[in-house]
A and B are shown apart, each in its own frame.
Chain A
Amino acid sequence: MLARRENGGIHGRSGGTGRRTRLKIARGNPSCGFDSHLRQCDYFRTAFVAAAEDALARGYNFDKSSGFAESTNALNHDQDDYRLDGGFWRAVIVMGILSALGMWGVVVFPIERFLPEAAEPAADIDWLFRFMAFFSVPILVYVNGFLLYFAIRYRKRVSDSSDATGSPIHDHRALEAWWTAIPAVLMLVLGLLSYNVLPKYYGAQAATVTMEAIGHKWDFEFRYPGLKQSVFNDLYLPINVPVTMDITSTEANEADAVIHSFWVPEFRVKQDMVPGLVVPIHFTPDRLGTYRIICTEFCGVGHSDMWGKVHVVSQSDFDTWYAKQRTQAASGGPPIQLAHGDASAGQALFQQKCSVCHNAAPFDQKKVGPGLANLFDDPKHPNLVDGKKADSADVATILEHGYTGDMGTMPNMQANGISPADIANLIAYLQSLHK
């Protein structure tokens, strides 16, 4: 045995064959694993049995289990110290009162005042949230309360000897059964309640409006039945009409598509817009107003600014809006009055929108798109529209219709959320850059 150990190798058994393998370790490594080897050898067996006998003689209840079987000596605790006395129950009552106050607070908390419930599943979700918060309060109060109370009440006093120990009690079956069973039941109830709400998002419903929401870098596109053109970032929905929204994401070049997410906090509705996946969700807006649409999946440099608005309007307002959209599609919208551009308004707009992708710097200084400082006289700037040097009308065309080509992709004016007046202002600003 010892001779084999001197080799400094690892000895192991392989499978059931009983064949021994030996791995040499360089440099006489000290930790060659002989401990595990020793465990198998007779030497330790003997030592172990002897030690067990020794332990028995010293008063340990020594068996294979670890339980803290009480030894016959060394127990000189005063059991009276460990009764649940008046102080303990007073602490329990104080914590009970604090919990009750907290739970009352959860029940009456006006969620609506901070975040309106503006669509059908919102109230159900807030109810679930309240339910969880209601039961969280006593758990938090009692855990933190007992921590504080025990830390103060049972702290070691100056009068205690330096080797004083606390209660030897280390198990309490009934208590442990309770604190296993109660959370388990709570979780079961919560699971069932949550399960009940789910079909409101995903279950098949007779929707009066079925539409599509498509994520782009960095705009939300909405397609209504019967409308030829899409609506960008401004979603109009009639109140109290169930909506089914088919949600996905794509780009002109499919390989550029990324995951976005469609979130309306006031609706408590969120669905990732995953390229290649169309997911229908259901909700019914039931409160008039304008709310935020927010992208919550990181989608690139424009992610922070990717948001839109949802306008919940009355049925008649919706019909008016819808009719206007139809006629606008036919007429092509109002003309752009370039002469009325205001450079300072354009500058503000540039900072707010264009600067996500463009620097107000020479053409080479690219961000997502090229730098635009010398747009009208930089020889490096390609002639994008009609083969001539860029002029105001060309820039207006690109701003209005967007651009797709070897320099990348730029969304159109609807996608960028800019008006004809905005275009005029932007051009005035860009012209002012190279005086």
Chain B
Amino acid sequence: MAVADISHAPTGHIHPPPETFVQKYVFSFDHKVIAVQYFITTGLFFVLAGLLAELMRAQLAGPNNHVLSVTTYNQAYTVHGSAMVWLVIIPVLTGAFGNLVMPLQIGARDVAFPWLNMFSFWLLPPAGLFLFGSFLLGAPEAGWTEYPPISLQEPAGTSMWCVAIFLIGVSSTITGINFLVTIIKMRAPGMTWTRMPLFVWATAVTAFLSFIATANLSAALAALFIERVFNVPFYDPSRGGSPVVWQHVFWFYSHPAVYIMILPAFGIVSEIIPTFARRPIFGYKAIAYSSTAIGLMSFMVWAHHMFTSGLAQWVQLPFMALTMLIAVPTGIKVFSWVATLWAGKIRLASPLLFVLGFLSTFTFGGITGIFLASVPVDIHEHATYFVVAHLHYVLFGGSIFGIFAGLYFWWPKMTGRMLDEGLAKLHFWLMFVSFNATFLPMHWIGLLGMPRRVATYDPIYGDTNLFISISAFVLGASFIVFAYNALKSAKNGEVSGPNPWGARTLEWMIPSPPPYYNFDRIPIVLHGPYAYGEPLPYRDVAPEYLDATPLH
């Protein structure tokens, strides 16, 4: 057969790895090193933004506390929200997980544009410096949405905020283009679109959204910056501008951004469930195509954030209808994931636990999303703690649970070592219980009349808020367990081997951590990755790695 005498050919091209420290670890082109850089940087921002949240909860523990001044409190929630969205969730899901996993899963040796990949990462640290540094000049106070005109009246820190988010936007756009080209052009031979792992599907749709939508945010930010610094009135209504224009353009980005923040988590979930249920993902095509449908529909629903802004009634109607329709593809995914667990041989390892937590909390957050889609009900709920609760159920209960599921899942691949399973489970239960204890009561006080973005509030909500604050401190502490686990694993974690979970996608068909050039030979893909019980559908994978028997 012709296969034998050509299979050595691709190995001839591997370049030697870089030798200097700077080339290897600082300005590295290697997608895996860049992924780790993203993980460390976003992890640091996560700690900072999380501490801001704990400060906020300290202030809100009592109705008239003076832990923070009103101004500091306002700055805290603004920087917390901005950092969590732009410096943590978006870069960790695209930059970190996308970089770590996607090229490996498509059998590529790197992304299409490695220099841009490096550049994209190095926009992140200055963005963080600008955002957290804005406290020096008077940090922004109007929340992560920074609606004008009040954002025009704030001190200079808001201009720094503009610069920070603009940098993230550039980074996000570049990463989007880079990943799209990588996925379209660099899949291993035989990997047709419908043989791609579902995480790659999710990354492809996310990359498309980052690429198309982020430019709108950049435009809105540029206009805000120009208005603040050069006094050109785009948004100031007293000089012919319109504050509602900002809301339209901001949400035209920020609604797709909601899906930028959740689709990769969907992808992570779609990888973990079949691996630990030991059976094919239920409805592969339904999950893949519903991601695409969600991606496209996400561009047509932005004004549902603006139902109380004074839109005409007939404008609200299509936005309400389309928002409700997005529930259909999202429901298809949730039901398919649940059906995948049916009749499996389920291993309740830590990644799956976090996924079960994800499914439980995200479904709740999705349903409250429908409550917010109905215009008359939204009129009551908008800008209250109900929205705060909904947002955290999808972004924390969804994205952050998905991120930790992915971290526990791919940690052995990234580091070559296992995390302690007992500590992982402790982390999960602490996080899951305290998460619900923190955010579930917020729905209730929001419906009863507690507005968001207040430093002091009506004492009738005092007891509930005290309970929420205590839960939030436990929630914060749960991450210490993870940090300890990570350090312990780095010091003396059990060596994982190439495929500890017995997964079937390509990243597990190479050593852990992967060698510099990922694949000795580019594998040839014969089939989709989820046919558990069947032989692995890859050619040109070294026989010792062609094994999907779980060890853990």
Query: What residues of chain A have their CB less than 8 Å away from a CB belonging to chain B?
Result: 2, 5-6, 8, 10, 25-36, 38-39, 43-44, 46-48, 50-55, 58, 60, 62, 64-68, 71, 74-75, 77, 81-82, 114-115, 121, 124-125, 128-129, 132, 136, 139-140, 143-144, 146-147, 150-151, 154-156, 160, 162-172, 175-176, 179-180, 183-184, 187, 190-191, 194-195, 197-203, 254-259, 261, 263, 265, 268-272, 274-277, 279, 292, 294-301, 303-305, 356
Contact = CB atoms under 8 A, between A and B. Distances in A.
Contact of A35 (B186, B282, B539): B186
A36 B186 contact: yes
15 contacts: A30-B109, A31-B109, A46-B2, A68-B284, A82-B343, A132-B370, A143-B335, A147-B341, A151-B348, A156-B347, A166-B532, A203-B313, A259-B243, A296-B383, A300-B153
Nearest to B335: A179
Contacts of B113: 33
B337 to A, nearest CB: 9
A154 B346 contact: yes
Categorize the interface residue count of chain B.
35 or more
B332 interface: yes
A299 B258 CA distance: 25
Interface in B188-233: 188-190, 192, 194-195
Interface stretch (B122-130, B476-484, B485-493, B516-524): B516-524
B90 to A, nearest CB: 23
A27 B189 contact: no
Given A154-B277, A162-B550, A68 B531 contact: yes
Contacts of B308: 261, 270-272
B422 interface: no
Contacts of B278: 156, 164-166
A303 B453 contact: yes
B326 to A, nearest CB: 9
A275 B153 CA distance: 14
Contacts of A191: 320-321, 324, 374
A32 B550 CA distance: 34
B20 to A, nearest CB: 10
Interface of B: 1-3, 6-7, 9-10, 12-18, 23, 29-31, 70-71, 74, 108-115, 141-143, 147, 149-150, 153, 185-190, 192, 194-195, 236-239, 242-244, 277-284, 286, 308-310, 312-313, 316-317, 320-321, 324-325, 327-328, 331-332, 334-336, 338-339, 341-348, 356, 359-360, 363-364, 367, 370-371, 374-377, 379-380, 382-384, 447-449, 451-458, 502, 516-517, 522, 524, 526-528, 530-535, 537, 539-540, 548-551
Contacts of A162: 549-551
Given A33-B112, A66-B194, A176-B286, A55 B526 contact: yes
Contacts of A275: 149, 237-238, 243
Listed residue (A30, A55, A140, A199) with the most chain B CB atoms within 10 angstroms of its CB: A30
A167 B522 contact: no
B379 A268 contact: yes
Contacts of B143: 298
A183 B320 contact: no
A146 B534 contact: no
Nearest to B547: A163
Contacts of B14: 30
B313 A202 contact: yes
Given A132-B370, A165-B279, A179-B331, A39 B341 contact: no
Contact of B316 (A60, A150, A190, A198): A198
A128 B374 CA distance: 8
A156 B279 CA distance: 12
A132 B310 contact: no
A265 B239 contact: no
A139 B367 contact: yes
A167 B449 contact: no
A265 B448 contact: yes
Residue picked from B278, B282, B284, B310, most chain A C-beta under 10 Å: B310
B70 A301 contact: yes
B18 A27 contact: yes
Contacts of A298: 74, 141-143, 147, 150, 453
B447 A115 contact: yes
Given A65-B194, A190-B370, A191-B320, A46 B346 contact: no
A276 B327 contact: no
B143 to A, nearest CB: 6
B189 A176 contact: no
Given A36-B112, A296-B382, A299-B150, A132 B371 contact: yes
A201 B376 CA distance: 8
Given A39-B189, A46-B2, A190-B324, 16 more contacts: A30-B517, A31-B109, A32-B15, A33-B186, A38-B522, A47-B6, A47-B524, A54-B1, A169-B282, A170-B280, A172-B282, A187-B370, A191-B374, A258-B149, A258-B150, A304-B454
B380 A147 contact: no
A151 B115 CA distance: 44
Given A39-B189, A64-B192, A272 B309 contact: yes
A150 B1 CA distance: 46
B451 A194 contact: no
Which of A25, A124, A165 counts the most chain B CB atoms within 10 A? A165
B363 A140 contact: yes
A143 B363 CA distance: 8
Contacts of A74: 533-535
Contact of A31 (B9, B114, B539): B114
A155 B338 CA distance: 14
Nearest to B242: A276
Given A27-B23, A255-B239, A268-B379, A274 B346 contact: no
B109 A125 contact: no
B374 A194 contact: yes
B13 A180 contact: no
A166 B119 CA distance: 44
A257 B150 CA distance: 8
A123 B324 CA distance: 22
Contact of B380 (A26, A268, A279): A268
A119 B236 CA distance: 34
A50 B256 CA distance: 42
Nearest to A278: B310
A120 B447 CA distance: 18
A292 B449 contact: yes
Contact of A259 (B147, B239, B321, B359): B147
Given A180-B332, A190-B324, A36 B236 contact: no
A203 B457 CA distance: 34
A156 B1 CA distance: 41
A166 B343 contact: yes
Given A190-B370, A270-B308, A51 B524 contact: yes
B149 A194 contact: no
B217 to A, nearest CB: 20
A170 B286 CA distance: 11
B371 A43 contact: no
A147 B338 contact: yes
Contacts of A167: 279, 342-344
A25 B238 CA distance: 52
A263 B449 CA distance: 9
A25 B313 contact: no
A263 B142 CA distance: 19
Contacts of A2: 9, 12-13
Nearest to B341: A150
B385 to A, nearest CB: 10
Given A124-B376, A187-B324, A272-B310, A165 B532 contact: yes
A356 to B, nearest CB: 8
B284 A170 contact: yes
Given A30-B517, A168-B280, A298-B453, A194 B375 contact: yes
B338 A169 contact: no
B161 to A, nearest CB: 14
Contact of B149 (A169, A259, A294): A259
A89 to B, nearest CB: 13
